[in-house]
Structure 1
Amino acid sequence: MNEARSAAADKIAARVRDLRYGTKLSRKKLAERADMDVSHLARIESGQGNPTVETLIQLATALDVTVEHFVEGLTAADLPSNVKPYSEADFRRALRGEAQASQK
């Protein structure tokens, strides 16, 4: 099996799988309840998929949990290594650094 896209994808995958196993639903039955293709669900459960908010709502509804259940505790550290978001404080530090560099 391929590696998950990111720690976030891996954690969401585990949460979906755990809920599905806990409710004793087959992948096919959950896909039907969530109104999605079973191959899409398989990609999400393997960490290869990149579910949209709409997809997470579909899964949350079908599994009778909140959408927050899937993303609770995830942070920027869980994103793929090529994604580097930064905070307002980071942005201001960068601006100060650029201003100082231009004054030299």
Structure 2
Amino acid sequence: MTPDGSCPPWGRPPVVDTIGCGFLAIRARSFEFSMSLRVSDGPLVGIAGRAYTGRMSDPKSEASRILGLRLRRRRRQLALNQEAVALLAGLNVSNYARIDRGHGNPTFHTLIRLATVLGLEPGDLMTGFSAEQLPPTRDSLTRSTGSTWTGQIRPT
């Protein structure tokens, strides 16, 4: 609807129901109006309500948490939001958001892209980590439990 409450000449604007949230967008020559709204019914509302009831999980490692802090600090210094950084780095916003919160495990190439977007050297993101800050490896799990694999490898 237009600001005066009437519908534009081309009909009612689209409302998209995705996971319980809608987005209303109206475009005309003289103005552009956008707003987000909460949809109280729809096929996905019940699913969305259940999806966010749990507590946010802890970071997978201390190193992931520290990396997220470094990225977030630099992003805020540049006055960028997560969406802008993700777009500039060629990442999905939700994937970048996980890294920014310290829950992601970015690839080498992703780290280079993020460092470039944020005006950093990749080494600036990776310095100062110790082995204790990393998640345990499979080898360290078998060493700590004392159990090892005792199978045989047969030639084929």
TM over 0.5: yes
RMSD: 1.6
Q: Which runs of 5+ in 1 are unaligned?
A: 87-104
Per the TM alignment, residue 85 of structure 1 is displaced from its structure 2 partner at its CA by: 7.3
Q: TM-score w.r.t. structure 2 length?
A: 0.52
- Structure with more strand by fraction: 2
Q: Which runs of 5+ in 2 are unaligned?
A: 1-55, 141-156
What residue number does 1:99 align with? Answer: none
What residue number does 2:99 align with? Answer: 44
Q: TM-score w.r.t. structure 1 length?
A: 0.76
Which whole-Å CA distance do the structure 2 matches of 1:85 and 1:19 have between them? Answer: 35
Q: Does 1:32 align with 2:87?
A: yes
Q: Structure 1 residues 12, 25: closer, same or farther in 2, change over 3 A?
A: same
Per the TM alignment, residue 77 of structure 1 is displaced from its structure 2 partner at its CA by: 1.1
What residue number does 2:137 align with? Answer: 83
Q: Does 1:55 align with 2:110?
A: yes
- Residues 34-85 of structure 1: per-residue CA shift (max 9 Å, x gap): 11111111110111110011010010010010001111101111101x2277
Which whole-Å CA distance do the structure 2 matches of 1:84 and 1:25 have between them? Answer: 38
What residue number does 1:21 align with? Answer: 76
| Paired positions, count | 85
Large movers: runs of 4+ above 2 Å: 82-86
Could you say which structure has the greater relative contact order, defined with CA pairs below 8 angstroms and 6 or more residues apart?
1
- Structure with more helix by fraction: 1
Percent sequence identity is: 35
